[in-house]
């Protein structure tokens, strides 16, 4: 039997912690302690002697790292490069409360506040409160110290350069939108919000072109306090060149203000266009506001009226003031619509130049009497005389010959009840009868411009095609877009949208319009030395019983080969008897006499035998048979007048 033996492991010896080792450990701990004390002391002295330097480095890094560089919004200029809107360099004051509060020198804050008070008249107590309320901020704007001009900050910045106790203040570069001509073309130009976004007008519709792209600056201070920067430059916006002529626009706006002061009206509006390319040369209305202060209602309302407005009324009145009547309001055009009806009938071949029409003063349509502008009737009239005398009966006969289908077709061809596509926001379309709605009465009244609503831009664009040979150009206000260097990046070329009438029809319409001004109802629209063609309108507004009128004149010059078409509206003139087209024709004559030279259209020898404007040779609505008064008249003519039924009131 085997015997197991127990094998014992060798006995381990325990090491002793000798006295020498204890002394070594103690000395090492003493050394570490002394080193720690030295480091603490070093930190203390560094903080005492150089703490400001290191704080400045840290704070400066925070101030310069990832800074946004703002772009300059592009300018808006007229066709002659007159500046209508531009962005100018300005500066916003920025203070650094943490820099001021944590500086070891107590005089820094005191001296800085003193200099701010000296150069900017800032209340030192308010500054102190502002800094105390935001002790950790390194970026704080000061109320009332934004958009400062260079000359406003120069003195202070020079003081900072030489006075080392003035710290914690710098000036942020920004741009302020300014409008050098104040109110001129306000509804066309529009304005910007505080966020640099376009509001209304060209500022709104071309916002993307006018705005550029922001840049960025990345930076830090190296060990020697030198700023190391990486800059991605901002891209400035493009400049938008308009078709508007600022001189023409100014003259028109001045005449509108003068008329409103001398006579007054609910609204006055004027448009001028080049019929051969669709360029809008001027667009103005009674509504006016200062582009540099667009929320100021004082140009349209008295201080008493403004004080009485609540928040809702203020907002409503601002929207009304900013509205562009020429594109955003619709109305019954009256007899200025007659050239369209005649042109459509000529083009369709249902009438011809040699046709005659009979007018007894009234027509029965579907059992209803509809009167002509001359109650006793015009008798027998040629087609040209129908236009010259503005005969409603003849137009109703022409409308009946066209029929509902063709009349509706030409409404579409001329662009009514459609947006023209003009490059402005807020365009309306009006209200035109559908083919199914053109029953005999509606067809009759529509033929002479009643019961359908249009806009000024629709009327003038269609009228331009009537007199230029039949080419319908899309109306536009922008001529081209240029980059910061002046190179053209986008050119707005004329766009012929469609053909409305034949060249032969256009020739006849021009002949009729010239005769209307030379011998017919539009005689007061003449301008000595020029051949003017055009058509008047005296539209009785709804409700008819109120006997309120919208007066108008639409015309072209020179009549034989139009280079300019224009449209004048006076809505509810402030006179006792409104129903006279003379108010619009005489106003038109005053305007055209002043603006045509600006447009490069100069006087020519007046044809022999041309009659001078005569107040008697004017359009008479609703049976008026007496001479019309001048626009300043406030009394009714002495002759009695018939009072027709409101439902069948005719218009001339």
What rounded mean pLDDT belongs to the chain? 86
Give the pLDDT confidence score for residue 219 in this predicted structure. 62
pTM to 2 decimals? Answer: 0.79
Structure tokens at 486: 């002046």
Condensed to tens digits (0 to 9), the pLDDT of residues 347-379 reads 999 999 999 999 999 999 999 999 998 889 999
pLDDT digits (tens, 9 = 90+) for 70-105: 889 999 999 999 999 999 999 999 988 888 888 888
Q: Distance between CA atoms of 570 and 264, rounded to whole angstroms?
A: 9
What is 188-200 written as a DSSP string? HH-EE-TTS-EES
Q: Tokens for 9?
A: 């492991």
Express each pLDDT in 572-594 by its tens digit.
Answer: 999 988 988 899 999 999 999 99
CA dist 260 and 255 (Å) reads: 8
Provide the token pair at 569: 């509206």
pLDDT at position 620 over 80: no
For residue range 257-305, list pLDDT tens digits in order: 999 999 999 999 999 999 999 999 999 999 999 999 999 999 888 899 8
Averaged over 181-191, what is the pLDDT? 96
* Cα–Cα distance measured from residue 526 to residue 291, given in angstroms and rounded to the nearest whole number: 35
Give burial (CB, 10 Å; 0-12/13-18/19+) of 563: middle
DSSP three-state, residue 498: strand
Name the pLDDT band for 26 (thresholds 50, 70, 90). Answer: confident
Parallel/antiparallel/unpaired status of strands 239-242 and 76-77: parallel
Cα 262 vs. chain centroid, distance in angstroms?
Answer: 27
Task: Give pLDDT, residue 22.
Answer: 80
* Separation between Cα atoms, residue 569 and residue 587, nearest integer Å: 9
Q: What is the pLDDT of residue 139?
A: 84
How many CA atoms lie within 13 Å of 435's alpha carbon, on the beta-carbon side?
10
Please report, for residues 29, 332, 399, the alpha-carbon distance to residue 436 in angstroms, rounded to integers and kept in the order given: 107, 20, 15
CA 99 to chain centroid: 45
40-44, 71-75, 336-340, 528-532: least confident range = 40-44
For residues 370 and 645, the answer to whether their CB atoms sit within 8 Å is no
The pLDDT of residue 627? 30
Q: Residue 228: what pLDDT?
A: 62
How confident is the model over 536-565, as a mean pLDDT? Answer: 94
**Region of poorest pLDDT, from 15-29, 211-225, 386-400, 505-519:** 211-225
**pLDDT for the residue 87:** 93
Do residues 366 and 441 lie in contact, with contact meaning Cβ atoms separated by under 8 Å?
A: yes
pLDDT above 90 coverage of the chain, percent: 60
Q: How far apart are the first and last CA of the chain?
A: 148
Q: What does the pLDDT read at residue 351?
A: 97
Q: Is the model more confident about 135 or about 414?
A: 414
Handedness of CA 119, 123, 124, 128 (dihedral sign): negative
Tokens representing 34 are 């002394």
Mean per-residue pLDDT, 40-68: 62
What pLDDT score does 40 carry?
Answer: 84
* Residue 527 to residue 518: CA distance in whole angstroms: 10
Q: Running DSSP on this structure, what letter comes out for residue 496?
A: E
Q: Which two tokens mark 564?
A: 């300019």
Q: Provide the pLDDT for residue 609.
A: 40
Q: Is 346 helix (H, G, I), strand (E, B) or coil?
A: helix
Of 545, 517, 509, 551, which is closest to residue 533 (Cα–Cα)? 517
d(CA 72, CA 175): 6
Task: Give the pLDDT score at 614.
Answer: 36
d(CA 504, CA 506): 5
Listed range (60-69, 76-85, 310-319) with the worst mean pLDDT: 60-69
DSSP state of 476: B
% of residues, the chain, pLDDT over 70: 85
Residue found under tokens 């100014």 = 250
Closest CA to 377 of 395, 360, 356: 360
Is residue 641 pLDDT above 70, yes or no? no
| Strand duo 83-95 + 76-77: pairing | antiparallel
| Burial class of residue 405 (count of CB atoms within 10 Å of its CB; 0-12, 13-18, 19+) | exposed
């Amino acid at each position: 039997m085997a015997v197991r033996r127990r094998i014992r492991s060798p006995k381990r010896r325990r090491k002793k912690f000798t006295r020498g080792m204890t002394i070594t450990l103690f000395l090492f701990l003493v050394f570490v302690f002394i080193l720690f004390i030295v480091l603490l002391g070093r930190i203390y002295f560094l903080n005492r002697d150089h703490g400001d330097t290191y704080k400045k480095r840290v704070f400066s890094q925070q101030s310069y790292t990832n800074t946004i560089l703002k772009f300059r919004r592009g300018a808006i200029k007229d066709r002659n490069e007159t500046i209508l809107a531009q962005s100018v360099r300005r500066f916003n004051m920025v203070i650094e409360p943490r820099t001021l509060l944590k500086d070891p020198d107590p005089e820094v804050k005191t001296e800085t506040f003193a200099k701010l008070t000296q150069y900017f008249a800032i209340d030192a107590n308010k500054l102190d409160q502002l800094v105390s309320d935001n002790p950790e901020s390194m970026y704080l704007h000061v109320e009332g110290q934004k958009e400062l001009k260079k000359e406003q900050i120069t003195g202070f910045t020079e003081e900072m350069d030489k006075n080392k106790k003035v710290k914690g203040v710098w000036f942020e570069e920004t741009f302020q939108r300014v409008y050098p001509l104040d109110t001129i073309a306000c509804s066309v130009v529009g304005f910007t919000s505080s966020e640099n976004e376009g509001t209304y007008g060209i500022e709104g519709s071309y916002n993307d072109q006018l705005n550029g792209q922001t840049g960025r600056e990345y930076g830090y201070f190296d060990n020697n306090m030198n700023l190391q920067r990486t800059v991605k430059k901002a891209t400035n916006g493009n400049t938008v060149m308009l078709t508007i002529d600022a001189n023409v626009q100014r003259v028109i706006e001045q005449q509108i203000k003068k008329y409103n002061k001398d006579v007054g009206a609910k609204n006055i509006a004027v448009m001028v266009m080049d019929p051969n390319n669709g360029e809008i040369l001027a667009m103005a209305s009674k509504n006016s506001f200062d582009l540099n202060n667009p929320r100021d209602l004082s140009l349209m309302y008295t201080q008493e009226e403004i004080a009485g407005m609540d928040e809702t009324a203020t907002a409503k009145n601002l929207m009304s003031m900013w509205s562009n009547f020429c594109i955003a309001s619709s109305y019954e055009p009256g007899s200025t619509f007659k050239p369209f009806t005649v042109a459509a009938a000529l083009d369709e071949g249902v009438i011809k130049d040699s046709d005659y029409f009979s007018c007894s003063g009234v027509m029965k349509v579907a059992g209803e009497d509809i009167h002509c502008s001359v109650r006793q009737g015009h008798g027998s009239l040629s087609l040209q005389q129908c236009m010259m005398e503005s005969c409603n009966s003849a137009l109703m006969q022409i409308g009946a010959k066209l029929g509902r289908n063709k009349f509706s077709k030409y409404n579409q061809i001329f662009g009514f009840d459609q947006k023209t596509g003009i490059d402005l926001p807020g365009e309306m379309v009006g209200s035109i009868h559908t083919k199914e709605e053109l029953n005999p009465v509606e067809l009759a009244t529509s033929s002479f411009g009643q019961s359908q609503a249009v806009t000024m831009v629709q009327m003038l664009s269609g009228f331009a095609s009537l007199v230029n040979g039949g080419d319908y150009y899309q109306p536009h206000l922008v001529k081209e877009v240029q980059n910061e260097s002046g190179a053209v990046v986008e050119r707005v070329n004329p766009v012929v949208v469609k053909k409305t009438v034949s060249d032969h029809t256009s020739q006849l319409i021009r002949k009729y319009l010239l005769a209307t001004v030379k011998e017919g109802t539009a005689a007061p629209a003449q301008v000595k030395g020029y051949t003017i063609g055009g058509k008047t309108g005296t539209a009785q507004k709804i409700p008819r019983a109120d006997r309120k009128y919208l007066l108008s004149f639409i015309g072209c010059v020179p009549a034989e080969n139009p280079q300019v078409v224009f449209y004048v509206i006076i809505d509810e003139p402030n006179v006792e008897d409104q129903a006279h087209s003379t108010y619009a024709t005489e106003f038109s004559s005053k305007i055209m006499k002043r603006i045509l030279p600006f447009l490069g259209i100069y006087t020519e020898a007046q044809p022999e035998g041309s009659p001078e404007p005569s107040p008697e040779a004017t359009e008479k609505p609703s049976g008026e048979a007496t001479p019309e008064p001048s626009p300043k008249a406030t009394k009714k003519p002495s002759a009695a007048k018939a009072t027709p039924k409101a439902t069948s009131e005719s218009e001339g």
